Structures are given as structure tokens and as C-alpha cells.
Structure 1
Amino acid sequence: MEFRQLKYFVAVAEELHFGRASETLHLSQPALSKQIQALENSLEIQLLERTKHWVKLTPAGQKFLETARRVLREVEEGIQVTRQVADGQSGRVRIGLTEATLFSLAPKIFSTYRERYPQVDLILSSGGTEAHVEQLRTHQIDVGLVYLPIREPSLAIYPLYEETYIAALSASHPLARQKQLSIASLADQPLVGYPRSLAPVLYADFIKCCERAGFVPNIVQEAALAQTRLGLAAAGVGIAFVLADLQNLSAKGVVYRPLSDDFPKLKLAVAWRQNESSPVVQEFIKVIRAIVLSQLSA
């Protein structure tokens, strides 16, 4: 049985006339009759009763018509979905986010993408750069927002912009009276840092900055989550560092102060697999790049 034979049978069953059906199908009447006969032979079932003057469905033909219509409908729906996937209109994208982008870049990306591609499912997770690189390598996510540098030849990398750190400290801290904090002003101050394991390059750059200023930083506590670092700063445990995009987070008793230009910055990038062929993933990356470019030019 061939797929086209189902279409031919439905046309004849609906018209109950070979001549009219052949015109609808743009097929000669003898060819149409031959295809219907071939369908009946393959099924070993008589679907139509016909004479020179009339055509009607057998009871088996009436039942088969329901099946044929359902198959044709499901195939058409399948073709439509397949075309949507091929055009980047339908499917799934798994995204790994950094903590800062959850509150800054991500909302704009997701609202824009969902407006353009409402049939694509976005599955979100958060984590550090090393985790995202491993998840990309092992196909656990499709796109990752990461911090440079990255040395992973299997990934394509597109730099986005630099993220700046600011200091978060208790409103009662003596340095809270200053409008800006220099690296040197952090000497002998208890500090709340970011774990070395989650940002080894950033950690090393910060240590080097402090050493150039003539001191070894007094890191009394480390915390991966910005909310935790802010809580420790509010409690007076030490001066914490968070990305500037997070300063809108509500933290009672905390004030934010910019840091001098020599404080390390993070270079945000979007990463995906070099051999990524999914149209929905490629479209998602295009949206990220377009949004960042529009923000930078604004």
C-alpha cells in the first residue's frame, strides 16, 4: 500500500465518482482506477462497489475511509511540525544561565524569543562556567552563557560584553561613606568572596590585583550565590562583591559602591557546540546576539 493510494481512495470515496475524483486529483481516470484496484489487492479487501453508472463504499470501505482520513491528517500534521522544526519555529532549547544574567539579560532574551517563537520550549538552568562547558560537551544543554576565557575546541564562542563588579557592604561600615572604593582601600578589610572553584580566572585576577596594591586579601568567607554574599555583607561579616547587574536585588542594610577601574571584570559570552545543527538553537543564538547589539548601541 502506498501513501498516495490513500489520497486517491479518499477522493473517490468523497466524490463517489471516478471522473470527478480524477479531475480533482489531476490524474487520468484509468490511472486512478488502476491505483484503487492496486490498493484493494494489497489489502485483500473490496473497498468500493462500482458499475458503469454508480460507485458506493462497501461496509469495509466505509471503515477504511475513517482510517485513511486519520492517517492523512496525522501525516499532514507531522509534516507541518517537521517544517516548523526545520524553520526554527518549534522544538526545544536547553539554556545554562549565570546568576547575574538571570536578573539582567535573560528576561529580555526570553520575552523576545517567546514572542517570536511561542511553540519552542525553553528549559532553563543556572550554574558556573565550568559546569556549562561540561554540560555543553555532554549534550545536557544546548546554549550556555559563560565567562571567558574558555579553552574547549568543541565549542563555538561569541563574546557579548564585560560585566563589572561592585562592592556590597553594610550601611554602617566605615567605607560606606566613600563614593567609590579602590583596591588599596580593601587592605585589612574582611572580604566575602566568590569560590575559586566556580571562577578560577576571576579569583586569580583578584588576588593579583590585591598583590599589586601591596596586600594579601583577607577573605573570611566564600559564597557562590550573590544573595548569600549580600546577606553576609548585611550582617557585617565583610565586604562582598557582586556584579553590577545585581545591585537591584533587595538587600536590607546593604549599600553598593562602585570599584576602581583596576578591579577585575568578567567577559560574558554565549557558547554552543561547533557542530550544532538545530535550527531552534541557531535562532535562539541570533536573538541573544541581536539583543546584546541593540543594548550596546543604545
Structure 2
Amino acid sequence: MELRQLEYFVAVAQELHFGRAAESLHLSQPALSKQIQALEDSLDIQLFDRTKHWVRLTLAGQKFLEIARNILDEVAEGIALTKQVAAGANGKLRIGFTESTLFSLAPKIVSTYRQQYPQVELTLTSGGTETQVEALRTHQIDLGFVYLPIREPSLSIHPLFEEAYIAALPAAHRLARQPQIAIESLATEPLIFYPRSLAPILHANFINCCDRSGFVPKIVQEAELAQTRLGLAAAGVGITFVLANLQNLTAKGVVYRPLIGDFLTLKLALAWC
């Protein structure tokens, strides 16, 4: 039994006339009759009672008409769904965000995407760049927001834009009275930074920035999450740094100040396999 034979059968069942059905299908009547006979032979069931003057469905044919229509509808629906998935309008999409992009970019991206592709099921995860790269490499996510540079040749990279770091310090700190802070002013301050083990390149760049400004940073604590670092700053442990787009995060007891001088920036990119 072939799919086209089901289409031929439904056409004849609707017309109850081989000639009109053949015309609608752009077939010759003998070719259509041959296909219906082949269908009946394959099923070992007579679907039509027919004479030279009339055609009608048998009881088995009436039941098979319901089945054939359901099959054709499911096939059509499946094809349409497959095309939507291929066009990105249906299916599932797993996106990995870094902490800063989760708070800054994710709300707008997710809202816009859901409006345009309401049938796509979105799954969001968060983690650092190394976490995103590993999730992409092992196919746990489809897209990831990462900070360059990364060392994974299997990934495709599309650079987006550059983000600058700003200082986050206790509201009562003497430097908080200044509208902006010179990097050299941090020379003797206790600092809170991202762990070296999780971001060795970022950590090395931070040390180099401080070295160019003439001092070795006094890192008193390391913490991966920006919110943890902000909490430590609010508690007076030290001054920390966050990407500028995170200054919208409300952190009681903390103020944000831009930095004067050659300080850290990160290049955000979209990555996929």
C-alpha cells in the first residue's frame, strides 16, 4: 500500500465516480482504476461496489475512508511540523546565558523570540563561559552566550559587542563619594574578584591591568557569582567589579562607579556547534 493510493481512494470515495476523481487527480481513468484495484488487492478487501452505472463504498470501504483520511491528515500535519522545525518556527531551543547576559539580554531576547516563534519550547540555563563551551561541545545546549577568547575549534562564533567592567563598592566607602574612580586608587584596597580557576584568562588580564597601573592587586576573596561578590562588597569585605550592564541589579549597601583608565573589557559572542 502506498500513500498515493490512499489519496486516490479518498478522491474516488468523495466523488463516487471514477471519471470525475481521475480528472481531479490529473490521471487517466484506467490508471486510477488500476491503482484502486492494487490497493484492494494489497488489503485483500473490496472497498467499492461498482457497476457501469454507479460506484458506492462497501461497509469496509466506509470504515477505511475514516482511516485513510486520518492517515493523510497526520502525514500532512507531520510534514508541516517538520518544515516549521527546519525553519526554526517549532521544536526546542536550548540557550545558555552567562550571569550578566541572563539579567541584561535574556529578558528581551526571550520575550521577542517567544512573540515571533510561540511554538518553540525555550530552555534557559546559566553559567560561565567555560560552562557554556562544555555544554555546547556535549550538545547539552544549542546556543550559548560566551566571552572571548575561547579555545574550542568545533564551535562557530559570532561576535556581538564589547562590555566594560565597573567598580562596585560599599556605599559608605570613601571612594563612593567620587563620580568615577581611577584604577590607581585601588592599589591599597581589598578587592573581590572572579576565581582564577574558573576564568584564568580574565584573571590574568585583571592582574595585567593592575600591573600597568603600577600595583599588585590585593585580592582578599574570590567568588564566581556577581550577586555573591556584591553581597561581600555590601558587607564591607572589599571592592569588586561587575560588567556595566549589571549595574541595574539592586544591591543594598552597594554603589557602582565607572573606572578611569585602561581597565578590563569583555567581548560577548554567540556560539553554536
If the TM-score is normalised by the length of the shorter chain, which range does it land in? Answer: over 0.9
CA apart distance, 1:147: 0.8
Q: Which moved more, 1:207-216 or 1:37-46?
A: 207-216
Q: Whole-Å Cα distance in 1 between the matches of residues 190 and 45 of structure 2?
A: 87
Question: Hey, what's the Cα distance between the residues in 2 that align with 1:183 and 1:157?
Answer: 32
Q: Which runs of 5 or more structure 1 residues have no equivalent in the other structure?
A: 274-298
Whole-angstrom distance in 2 between the partners of 1:262 and 1:270: 25
Q: How does 1:164-179 map to 2 (within 5 A)?
A: 164-179=164-179
CA distance in 2, matches of 1:214, 1:77: 67
Post-superposition offset of 1:57: 1.3
> Once superposed, which parts of structure 1, at least 4 consecutive aligned residues long, lie more than 3 Å away?
none
| Pairing 1:37-186 to 2, within 5 Å after superposition | 37-186=37-186
Q: Deviations over 1:61-80 (max 9, x none)?
A: 11111110000000000111
Moved more, 18-27 or 171-180: 18-27
Shift of 1:96: 1.1
Letter in 2 for 1:225: L
1:7 Cα shift?
Answer: 0.6
% identity of equivalent residues: 75
Distance in 2 (CA, whole Å) between partners of 1:212 and 1:123 is: 42
C-alpha distance in structure 2 between counterparts of 1:160 and 1:86, whole Å:
25
TM norm structure 2? 0.95
1:213 aligned partner = 213
SS across alignment from 2:260: coil
Question: 1:233 Cα shift?
Answer: 1.0
Mapping of residues 186-201 of structure 1, within 5 Å: 186-201=186-201
Provide the secondary structure at the position in 2 that maps to 1:164: strand
RMSD of the alignment, in Å? Answer: 1.4
CA–CA separation in structure 1 for the residues paired with 2:244 and 2:87: 37
Q: Aligned equivalents of 1:208 and 1:31: distance in 2?
A: 81
Counterparts in 2 of 1:228-267, with a 5 A limit? 228-267=228-267
Give the drift of 1:174.
1.2
Equivalent pairs counted in the alignment come to 273
Q: Distance in 2 between matches of 1:261 and 1:133?
A: 31
- Alpha-carbon distance change, 261 to 270 in structure 1, aligned in 2, over 3 angstroms: farther
C-alpha displacement of 1:113: 2.2
Give distance in 2, aligned partners of 1:83 and 1:212: 55
- Per the TM alignment, residue 23 of structure 1 is displaced from its structure 2 partner at its CA by 2.0
Range 203-212 or range 42-51, more displaced: 203-212
Once the two structures are TM-superposed, the CA of residue 91 in structure 1 deviates from its matched residue by 2.2
Q: Aligned-pair distance for 1:24?
A: 1.8
Paired with 1:59 and 1:67, the residues of 2 have a C-alpha distance of 13
Structure 2 stretches of 5 or more lacking a match?
none
The aligned amino acid for 1:259 is L
